[in-house]
C-alpha cells in the first residue's frame, strides 16, 4: 500500500547541506513506494523528476513576516489535503513528525552570545524574529499532534529532552546519510585543477571548510588558526556569506591573506573535497553538518568542535580531533598535527570506514520503519479510543438497565401495598387474581433496558 507523506521545507537552494539531505531522502523514499507531496516556497530543477512540489509562497518583507506567513499558509494547505503523515523541516505546528535539522534555537543563541557584551545580548533577546522562533519552538515541542522528533545527533536529542521535557520515546536519532560513491578518495583527481584555478600551491597542505553562514561555522576561528601555522598551510572556504569582506580583512590583519581562499558557494562542492588534505569545521553550533560526513567519505581527517554532532563520529572512530568552539589555539594545534602526511592517511582511512555504513538506503529504511511504527501506533490508539467509547456506552446501558429494573420493581411493590390483604391458606399467601408477575409492558421495557448496546 502506498504511504502518503507530506514534506514541509520552506526554502530549497542547491548550496546547503540540509537541502542535499532532503533531496537524497526524497529520492530514496520514492523508491520505497512512498507518495510525496513537497510544500515549499521554491523548488529549482533537480534530478528528482517525480516530485511535483506544491508551491506555497505568500508575500513577505523581512524574516519574521516570511516565517509567520509561510507557517500560516502551509498549515492551511496541508489541512485541505489528506496525508498519512506530515513531516516538517520547519518549526510549524501542523506536523506529526519534526526533523530538528537546525537543532535547538535557544542553544544556538546561548553559544553565539557566549562572552558577548551585554548590549549585544539584549539586542538579540529583544529581536522580534528570535522571540518568535523561541516561542514557536516551545509550542512545537508541547504540541499534542507531535508524534516524533527526528534528531540528527545525540547532542540534539539530549538538548530537546532536557530543555522541553519531550519523552524519550518521541526522540529518534537518525543520522544523515552520505553517498560514499559520489564522495570518495577518487575525487583527488580534481586536486590539480581546483588548486590551479584558485592559485593554491601544489605542495600546500589544504584545510577545507565547507559551510554557509560563516559566524555559525566558526570561519573566524579557522582563519586565526591557519594564520598561526607555517606556510604552505592553506585554508580553503566554500560556502555562502553576506559579509565575506569582513573575513578577508581578518585574514589580512593576521598576515594570512595569501593563505586563505574564499571560493564562495558552489553548486557542486565535490571537486573541492578532492583538492583538500584535511577538513576543518570549528562550528559555534552545528547539529550534524553534512559536509563533515562528505569529507569523511572522501577519506579526509576532520577537526570539529564539541558543539558539532560530527564529534559523535570523529571521537569514537579516531577520525580526527575535537576542540572547543572558538578556541583558535586548540584548533591550530590539531591542524598542526595534520601537517604530517602519515597522520592524515591513518585518520582519513578511519574516517571513511566510519561513514561507509551510513548509506542513503540504510537511512531511508530507518525512516520508513519509523513511519510504519507511527502509523501502526496511530491506528492502535484509534482502536483503543473506539474500545473506550464502546465500553462507556455499555456502562451507560448497564446503568440505564439497572435503573429501569429498579423502577419496575418499585412500581410492583407499590401496587402490592395498595391491594387488600388476602386470606392465608396453610400459612401461604395465595396469589392475587391477575397478578402473574410484571405486566408484559414492564417486562418488555426491562428486557429492552438490559440489552447491551451495539458494538
pLDDT in tens, 88-134: 999 999 999 999 999 999 999 999 999 899 999 999 999 999 999 99
- Residue 277's domain spans which residues? 185-355
Give me the mean pLDDT over the 423-449 stretch: 40
What DSSP string describes 391-407?
HHHHHHHHHHHHHHHHH
* Long-range CB pairs of 212-216, under 8 A, 24+ apart, other chains included: 212/15, 212/16, 212/239, 212/240, 212/241, 212/265, 213/239, 213/240, 213/241, 214/239, 214/241, 214/243, 214/244, 214/247, 215/112, 215/284, 216/108, 216/112, 216/283, 216/284, 216/285, 216/286
Does residue 283 fall inside a structural domain?
yes
Domain count, the chain: 2
Summarised one tens digit per residue, pLDDT across range 397-428 is 666 666 666 655 555 655 555 555 544 444 44
Residue 387 forms part of a structural domain: no
Query: Based on the domain organization, do 115 and 78 belong to the same domain?
Result: yes
CATH number of residue 319's parent domain: 3.40.50.2000
Whether 430 maps to a domain, the answer reads: no
Check whether residue 122 and residue 253 sit in a common domain: no
202 plus 83 within the same structural domain? no
Residues 71, 128, single domain; the answer is yes
CB within 8 A of 3, min separation 6: which ones? Answer: 33, 34, 35, 84, 85, 371, 375
- Residues 216, 338 share a domain: yes
State the pTM of this model.
Answer: 0.79
**Beta bridge pairs of residue 236:** 208, 261
The 10s digit of each residue's pLDDT in 9-67 is 998 665 555 555 666 666 767 777 777 888 999 876 655 555 668 999 999 999 999 99
Interval 198-257: pLDDT, tens? 999 999 999 999 999 999 999 999 999 999 999 999 999 999 999 999 999 999 999 999
- 208 and 237 part of one domain: yes
Omega before 232 within 30 of 0, i.e. cis = yes
b (16+ CB within 10 A) / e for 287-301: bbbbbbbbbbbbbbb
State the average pLDDT for the chain.
Answer: 85
Instruction: Looking at the structure, tell me whether residues 143 and 198 fall in a common domain.
Output: no
Q: Kindly state whether residues 260 and 348 are assigned to the same domain.
A: yes
Whether 429 shows a pLDDT value over 60: the answer reads no
Share of the chain above pLDDT 70, in %: 77
Asked if 202 and 148 sit in the same domain, the reply is no
On whether residue 449 sits in a domain, the answer given is no
Amino acid at each position: 500500500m502506498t504511504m502518503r507523506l507530506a514534506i514541509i521545507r520552506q526554502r530549497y537552494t542547491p548550496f546547503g547541506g540540509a537541502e542535499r539531505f532532503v533531496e537524497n531522502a526524497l529520492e530514496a523514499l520514492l523508491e520505497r513506494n512512498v507518495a510525496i507531496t513537497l510544500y515549499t516556497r521554491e523548488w529549482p530543477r533537480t534530478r528528482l523528476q517525480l516530485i511535483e512540489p506544491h508551491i506555497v509562497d505568500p508575500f513577505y518583507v523581512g524574516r519574521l513576516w516570511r516565517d509567520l506567513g509561510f507557517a500560516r499558509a502551509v498549515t492551511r494547505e496541508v489541512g485541505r489535503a489528506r496525508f498519512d503523515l506530515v513531516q516538517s523541516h520547519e518549526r510549524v505546528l501542523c506536523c506529526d513528525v519534526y526533523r530538528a535539522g537546525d537543532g535547538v534555537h535557544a542553544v544556538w543563541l546561548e553559544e553565539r552570545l557566549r562572552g558577548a557584551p551585554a548590549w549585544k545580548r539584549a539586542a538579540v533577546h529583544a529581536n522580534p524574529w528570535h522571540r518568535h522562533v523561541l516561542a514557536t519552538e516551545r509550542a512545537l515541542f508541547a504540541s499534542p499532534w507531535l508524534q516524533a522528533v527526528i534528531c540528527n545527533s545525540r547532542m540534539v536529542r539530549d538538548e530537546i529532552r532536557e530543555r522541553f521535557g519531550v519523552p524519550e520515546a518521541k526522540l529518534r536519532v537518525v543520522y544523515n546519510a552520505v553517498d560514499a560513491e559520489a564522495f570518495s578518495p577518487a575525487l583527488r583527481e580534481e586536486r590539480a585543477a581546483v588548486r590551479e584555478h584558485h592559485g593554491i600551491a601544489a605542495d600546500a597542505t589544504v584545510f577545507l571548510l565547507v559551510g554557509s553562514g560563516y559566524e555559525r561555522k566558526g570561519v573566524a576561528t579557522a582563519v586565526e588558526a591557519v594564520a598561526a601555522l607555517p606556510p604552505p598551510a592553506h585554508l580553503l572556504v566554500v560556502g555562502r556569506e553576506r559579509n565575506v569582506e569582513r573575513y578577508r580583512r581578518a585574514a589580512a590583519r593576521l598576515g594570512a591573506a595569501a593563505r586563505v581562499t574564499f571560493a564562495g558557494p558552489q553548486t557542486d562542492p565535490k571537486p573541492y573535497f578532492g583538492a583538500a588534505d584535511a577538513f576543518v569545521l570549528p562550528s559555534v553550533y552545528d547539529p550534524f553538518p553534512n559536509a563533515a560526513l562528505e569529507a569523511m567519505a572522501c577519506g579526509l581527517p576532520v577537526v570539529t568542535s564539541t558543539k558539532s554532532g560530527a564529534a559523535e563520529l570523529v571521537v569514537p572512530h579516531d577520525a580526527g580531533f575535537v576542540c572547543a568552539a572558538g578556541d583558535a589555539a586548540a584548533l591550530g594545534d590539531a591542524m598542526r598535527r595534520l601537517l604530517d602526511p602519515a597522520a592524515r592517511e591513518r585518520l582519513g582511512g578511519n574516517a571513511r570506514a566510519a561513514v561507509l555504513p551510513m548509506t542513503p538506503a540504510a537511512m531511508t529504511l530507518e525512516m520508513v520503519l519509523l513511519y510504519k511504527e507511527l502509523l501502526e501506533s496511530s491506528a492502535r490508539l484509534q482502536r483503543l479510543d473506539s474500545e473506550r467509547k464502546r465500553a462507556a456506552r455499555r456502562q451507560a446501558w448497564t446503568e440505564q438497565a439497572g435503573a429501569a429494573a429498579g423502577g419496575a420493581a418499585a412500581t410492583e411493590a407499590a401496587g402490592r401495598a395498595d391491594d387488600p390483604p388476602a386470606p392465608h391458606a396453610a400459612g401461604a399467601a395465595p396469589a392475587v387474581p391477575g397478578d402473574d408477575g410484571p405486566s408484559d409492558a414492564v417486562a418488555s421495557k426491562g428486557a429492552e433496558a438490559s440489552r447491551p448496546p451495539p458494538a
